[in-house]
Structure formats: structure tokens, C-alpha cells
Structure 1
Amino acid sequence: MINRKEIVEWSKKSNVPADTIDKDYVLGHFLNVLFSYQWAKENLIFKGGTCLRKCYFENYRFSEDIDLTILNQNFILTRKAINEVCEKLKDVTGIETNMLLFAEVQHNNQKVGWDIEICYWGANHNPSETPIFRKDCHTKIILEIRHFELMLFENIERKIIHNYSDSELMSNTIPCYSIEEVLAEKMRALIQRNRGEARDYFDLWYIKTHINEIDWQGVKEAFFEKCIFKNIIFNDVSDLFKPERMKQVAITWDKRLSHQLQTQVDRILVMNELEVFFTELFKEES
């Protein structure tokens, strides 16, 4: 494990709290160990904001949780398997953990996946400190693992982005959602949620701004299919920018993003650019 000095140095360099850097460091190692197991490689696909941060964009916003889609609908995850991941994580890196939650999730009396919370003792401590794990632990990894997600693009094997001094330990690639899949999924999530999620809008804007070669027609078609799959009604582009959603984004923008961004981004600029772009993308559907 790296020392606290390196965490603090990265914190100053990145202009984010040391705990944010520590979590980024731990997430990289946890993912590397998780996908060293064949059962994970064969059954799980990495997606979401943390996937973008750890596998696509070196200077992307920092992220917090691990979202995984299950490929094999007969896959069964056990507490023992996750405990083994945590034990191997300690053996390889020295990072200690304590599992706070391992819960099967059901919807309409059907098993849809698992929620897992793991408290960790990372590098943002003095070596002499004894690990302390509380129920209200704020240094924790949250995993959301779900069945029944519609995947419409081929997944892609990606290396883990880990710029810390022990990067030689990163030995595994991870099966990830393609960028097009991520975009369609985030657009669907925005329509499905009752509230506006600032991070999803930021993610859409960032990807649109930083990648030129995107099959946006394919993204749009996948978005429509994902809405149908989830029984979500999409009327027109105004659904993405409903006043109540925009109000929620305005209220939560700084709280949701300020500790994750090296350079702050203007909310109004982001939302205006997205509205212009999506209005053009969906104009044929109006």
C-alpha cells in the first residue's frame, strides 16, 4: 500500500479532498482483485461513472460506487465469494476491509441482484493507526450488482487507470460497457428517475465534449429500446429537461460534484449545451 504522503500529494494536485483520492486508490485495487476471479470475468460487466473514471478517462471526475451488470441470469453471488475478494485485497495490498452489508435485492417478488457495502481502511492513515470499522463508516465501497439489464452493444475489455506508485499491481483487464452503452443507459436513467441527477448530466456532457467518434444514432436507438425494456414512457426531448429536474440539478450540483472535480464546471453551460445537442438529436422524433 502507498503511504499517506502520496494520498495528500495527489489531493493537492487534483484539488479534491484526500478521502476522495483514497477511495479512488482503493477502488482501483478492489476492481483489480475482483476481476482476478474467473467467476467475475465471466459473469459481470462494469458500468457507470466509476467505470468511466477507472477505465476510460484519466482526468475524469472522481467516482464512488461500483455498478455491475450480470450477464448470466443463473449466476449466484455469495457472501463467501466477496469475503474471499476482501481477503485477497488485504494480502495483495494491505488494505483492510469489513463487510457492512450483503443483501439480496428483490423487485416484484423476483430476485434482481445484490447490494453490498464494504468499509475499508485505505492509505489515508498513519501506519501506526489501528483500523476502526463503524456501522456509520463513511469510507466505504458500495456495489450495486443487477440482473435484467438490456445490453445492446458489445462489451469492451479495458485496463484499469491507476496512476499511483504501486501501479505494477494492476494486472487484470475488466469487461466494460461500451461508451455508447453508457450513454444510452444514462439517458434512460435520467428519464426513469423522478429527480434530476447532476452527475448523469455532467457525464453525458463530458463524453459528448471529449469523444468525437460516437455513434449517436445508435445511442438514440438503444435509448429507445432501453426505455421500452423498462416500461418507461419517453415523449420528447423536453422530458430530459423538465423544470422539476432542472430545479433539483441546480440545488444539488455543487454537493454532488464539487468534491469529485479537479476543475469546477459551470452548470448553466453544461445544461445549455446538452439541451441544444439533444434537441438536434431528437428533432426527427418530434
Structure 2
Amino acid sequence: MINKFELARKAKEYGLQSSTIEKDYVLGWILIGIQNHPRTRDSWVFKGGTCLKKCFFNKYRFSEDLDFTLLDAQQMKEETLRSILKQIVQWVYEQSGIEIPENLISLDPHRSLSIQGKLPYRGPLKQPVPYPSIKLDLTANEQVVLKPEKRKVFHEYSDCPTEMPQILSYSYEEIFAEKLRALAERARPRDLYDVVHLYQERHRLTDIEKLLESLQGKCAFKKMPMPNLVTIEQHPQKSEFLSEWKNMLHHQVKDLQPFEYFWKYLPDIFSWIYHSKNNF
């Protein structure tokens, strides 16, 4: 396990709290553990904002949770899931020294084929009880439209394994589509932040038709209309974008741009998606 002085150096480099860097460090080791486990490496598909940070954009907003779509619904059974997590956290402790007490892991069935959990940890900062925790969001009730990809995990710490594993994750097109759907459905600051950055890096797309295919499939699965500028502007929770912008993101991003900077991109984003299919 790295020491708190390495965390402090990283925190100074990124202009963030040491606790934020510690969480990123622990997240990385849990991801390595998931990839190491024979029952999860080919059936847990990584997605969400943490996937963007750990697999696509190394210099990106820090995230706080782990989101996965499970291809094997049988693993959603609590007894099975606890057994798998027990083996993963034991392996992580053996490899890194990070403590994730098995008896403190919580699992809460959230809705049909979805579970939210918390993984309390004791890392380099040796924080006292109650330990900080990482949120785990698992679902087997999700439409994976495009073939998942194996991607290297970014883990720039001194105890990084010599050969970093590749974890199963959403493709760029699929994660872009998922973020667009989430933006239209729940209107959270982090979704707007992510959508704008995905658009700014749109050269990474291999085919915009795949983005549209994934977006259509996800919206149909959720029985919701395709997102557009009007639906976002008229969202009942739009006011929360502005009121919660800094509160939800300032601890994850150094020099956070104001809300208006991101909001102004939306007309261009939707015009590009629906009218300029070949404009990469």
C-alpha cells in the first residue's frame, strides 16, 4: 500500500483533498480485483463516470462509485454476490494491504435486478470508524446494445502492478449514449459534465451510427423518448443543475468551469447527434 505522503503529493498535483485521491486509489485496486476474479472478469461490464476516469480519460474528474452491468443475472443473488465480493476484497488486501472489512459490506436490493452496496475501506490515510466507503451500483436490468470492450485501467500509483489488467467496459459509443439517456432522465450535474466532455472528445468515436443505435436501444428499453434539447431545457429538475453544480463537482475537479460553460454546448451536441452524422 502506498503511504499518505504519496497521497499528499498527488493531492497537491491535482489541487484536491487527500481523501479524494485515496478513494481513487482504492477504486483502482477494487477494479484490479474484479478483473482478477474468474466470475466477474467477463461478466461485469464497467460503466459510468468512474469508467470514464479509469479507462478513457486519465486526467478527468475524480469519481466516487463503481457502476457495473452484470451479464449474468444469477450473480445478483445476495448470497452469491457476497461470496464473490468476499473473495475480491481478500485478494485486494493480500495484494495491496487495503482493508475492506467483509462484515461491514452492505448490499441493498434497490429495484428489480439492481443492487446498491457500500464497501467501507481503510486505506493509506488510516481514517477511523466510520470508515469512508465506495458506492457499488450493480444491475442486470440494463440494455447493453454494443459489444463491450477490454480496456486498460489507469492506476498511476507506485504500487501499480507491473502488468495492468484490462477490464470489460462499455464502448465509447455506449457510454456516451448512456450518459445522454441519464442526462435526460435524472438531470444531474455530473451527467452534463460528462456529456460535454464526451462531445469534446468525439474524435474517439468509431461510428456515430453506433452511438445512435445504442441511444435508441437504451431509450426503448427504459420506455422513454429520445432525448433532445427541449426535453432537457424543460426538465422539472433543471433548477438543480445550477443550485447543485458546485456542491456536487467541486471536490472532484480542480478549477471547475461554471455551469453556463457546459450548458451552452447542448444545442451543438444535439445538432451534431441528429443532423451531422459525419461531422467528427
TM-score between the two structures when normalised by the length of structure 2: 0.89
Identity %, equivalent residues: 28
Q: Distance in 2 between matches of 1:26 and 1:235?
A: 35
- The SS at the match of 1:40 is coil
Instruction: Give the aligned length.
Output: 271
Contact 1:114 1:144 in 2 (8 A): yes
Residue in structure 1 matched with residue 174 of structure 2 by the alignment: 181
Deviation at 1:234, TM superposition (A): 3.9
The separation in 2 between residues aligned to 1:258 and 1:26, in whole angstroms, is: 20
- Residue 249 of structure 2 is aligned to residue 248 of structure 1: no
Residue from 89, 101, 109 that aligns with 1:105:
109
Deviations, residues 123-156 of structure 1 (Å, cap 9, x unaligned): 124xxxxx6332xx4x211111101211111111
What is the CA–CA distance in structure 1 between the aligned matches of 2:273 and 2:198, rounded to whole Å? 15
- Report if the CA contact (8 A) 1:101-1:115 is conserved: no
Q: How does 1:182-261 map to 2 (within 5 A)?
A: 182-193=175-186, 196-214=187-205, 215-234=207-226, 236-242=228-234, 244-261=236-253
Partner residue of 1:96?
99
Measured in 2, the distance between the counterparts of 1:57 and 1:246 equals 27
2:64 partner SS: coil
Q: Which residue of 2 aligns with 1:120?
A: 121
**CA positional deviation for 1:101:** 4.2
Distance in 2 (CA, whole Å) between partners of 1:221 and 1:86 is 37
* CA-to-aligned-CA distance 1:167-188 (integer Å, 9 cap, x gap): 2356421001001100111111
CA distance in 1, matches of 2:159, 2:27: 14
Q: Offset at 1:33?
A: 1.2
| Alpha-carbon distance change, 236 to 87 in structure 1, aligned in 2, over 3 angstroms | closer
In the alignment, structure 1 residue 149 sits paired with structure 2 residue 150: no
**Structure 2 partner of 1:128:** none
CA contact (8 A) 1:23 1:64 kept: yes
Displacement of 1:268 in angstroms is 0.7
Aligned AA (1:20):
T
Moved more, 232-241 or 43-52: 232-241
Task: Name which of structure 1's ranges 71-80 and 251-260 shifts more when overlaid on structure 2.
Answer: 71-80
TM-score scaled to structure 1, two decimals? 0.87
Change (3 A) 1:25 1:69: same
Partner of 1:23: 23
- Cα separation, 1, equivalents of 2:93 and 2:105: 19
Q: Which amino acid aligns with 2:264?
A: N
* Secondary structure in 2 matching 1:259: coil
- SS of the equivalent of 2:146 reads coil
In structure 2, how many angstroms separate the alpha carbons of the residues matched to 1:6 and 1:246? 40
Q: Distance in 1 between matches of 2:70 and 2:91?
A: 22
Is residue 191–residue 232 contact of structure 1 (8 Å, CA) maintained in 2?
no
CA distance in 1, matches of 2:163, 2:263: 36
Q: How big is the shift at 1:283? A: 5.5
**Paired AA for residue 223 in structure 2:** N
1:260 counterpart SS class: coil
Shift in alpha-carbon separation, 1:188–1:5, aligned structure 2, 3 A: same
Q: 1:4 to 1:187 in 2, by over 3 A?
A: same
Instruction: Check whether the contact 1:115–1:143 (CA below 8 A) recurs between aligned residues.
Output: yes
Q: Is the 8 A contact 2:153 2:167 kept in 1?
A: yes
CA distance in 2, matches of 1:10, 1:69: 31
Aligned to 2:156: 163
Deviation at 1:243, TM superposition (A): 5.5
Partner Cα separation in structure 2 for residue 202 and residue 106 of structure 1: 26
